[in-house]
C-alpha cells in the first residue's frame, strides 16, 4: 500500500502537495494571529474510467478564522430595539461640553 503523502508527491508532479503545503502555512498563520480555529478540507472523488484507470477529481478548501467580530454592550428598550443609551437611566438636561484649558489658550506672540 502506497502512503498518502507519496501519492501527493507524485500527483501531477507534486503541484497539489506544494499547494496544500502553502495553504496549510497560511491557515496556520491566520489561526495563530486570530487565536481562533480554522479548517482545511481535502476531497477526493474517484470514478472508474475502465481498463484499470480511475477518473480522479480533487478539491480542497482552507477556511481561516475571520476577524470580523466587533463586540460591545447595547441596551434593550421597551420596543425590543437595541440602543446605545440605557433607556432606564434618566436623561440629564442642561448639560454641555466644556472645552479643556488647552483649547481655551490663545497662541502667544514672540517679543
Q: Which alpha helices (H) appear in 11-93, and where do they start and end?
A: 15-34
Read off the pLDDT of residues 63-87 as tens digits, 9 standing for 90 and up: 998 877 677 888 888 888 888 889 8
pTM metric for this prediction? 0.57
Average pLDDT of every residue of the chain? 87
Domain boundaries, given as residue ranges, for the chain: 4-63
**Contact by Cβ (8 Å): 82, 76:** yes
SS3 of residue 60 by DSSP: strand
Q: Which three cell numbers stand for residue 10?
A: 507524485
The answer to whether the beta carbons of residues 87 and 77 sit under 8 Å apart is: yes
Amino acid at each position: 500500500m502506497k502512503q498518502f503523502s507519496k501519492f501527493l508527491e507524485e500527483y501531477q508532479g507534486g503541484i497539489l502537495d506544494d499547494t496544500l503545503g502553502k495553504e496549510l502555512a497560511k491557515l496556520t498563520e491566520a489561526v495563530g494571529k486570530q487565536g481562533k480555529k480554522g479548517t482545511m478540507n481535502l476531497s477526493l472523488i474517484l470514478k472508474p474510467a475502465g481498463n484499470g484507470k480511475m477518473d480522479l477529481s480533487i478539491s480542497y478548501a482552507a477556511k481561516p478564522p475571520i476577524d470580523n467580530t466587533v463586540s460591545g454592550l447595547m441596551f434593550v428598550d421597551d420596543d425590543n430595539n437595541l440602543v446605545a443609551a440605557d433607556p432606564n437611566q434618566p436623561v440629564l438636561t442642561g448639560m454641555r461640553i466644556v472645552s479643556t484649558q488647552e483649547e481655551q489658550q490663545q497662541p502667544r506672540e514672540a517679543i
